[in-house]
Amino acid sequence: MDFVLQNIWLVLLAAMSGFMLFGGDIFGRISGIKQIGPQEAVLLFNRDDALVLDVREQSEWTDGHISRAKHIPLGQLKSRLSDLEKFKGKPIVAVCRSGNRSGNACSMLKKAGFENLHNLAGGMSAWEQAGLPREKK
């Protein structure tokens, strides 16, 4: 107990680090939005014909994207939900640069009644680090 009191900042830093590591997974379980890595995403594409929804801006999309991804920038998603109605029963993997905007997109889709939602943790950065291909068109 003396150690904890004498090193309260160290203890708080360790607690915050642990929450940052595991908090996203806990939030995903509670919210119904699963955080997945690039390899899990590839399995969803190949096995379940998942839709890849890229919510990055046009310049990011042009720089390189996942093959066969549907591009709807996050700022346009709410007004373009009707474009996704036919995918309501399919798994959807949302993608952005780092995983933050795609997490917001998943939340928006969840509110609109979509259920099989996955956020690519680490986004395109994780995709590229895994050595997976990008398409430029």
Taking only the tens place, the pLDDT of each residue in 110-126 is 999 999 999 999 999 99
Evaluate whether 17 touches 23 at the Cβ level (below 8 Å). Answer: no
Identify which of 82, 115, 20, 96 has the alpha carbon closest to the alpha carbon of residue 54.
96
Please give the single-letter amino acid code of residue 1: M
Q: What is the pLDDT of residue 26?
A: 46
Residue 83 pLDDT exceeds 70? yes
What percent of the chain shows pLDDT beyond 90? 74
Evaluate whether 110 touches 33 at the Cβ level (below 8 Å). Answer: yes
Helix axes 100-111, 8-31, angle to 10 degrees: 40
Asked if the 32-129 domain carries CATH number 2.60.40.2250, the reply is: no
Instruction: For the full predicted model, state whether its pTM sits above 0.75.
Output: yes
Q: What are phi and psi of 41, to 5 degrees?
A: -65, -45
Just list the catalytic residues. 96
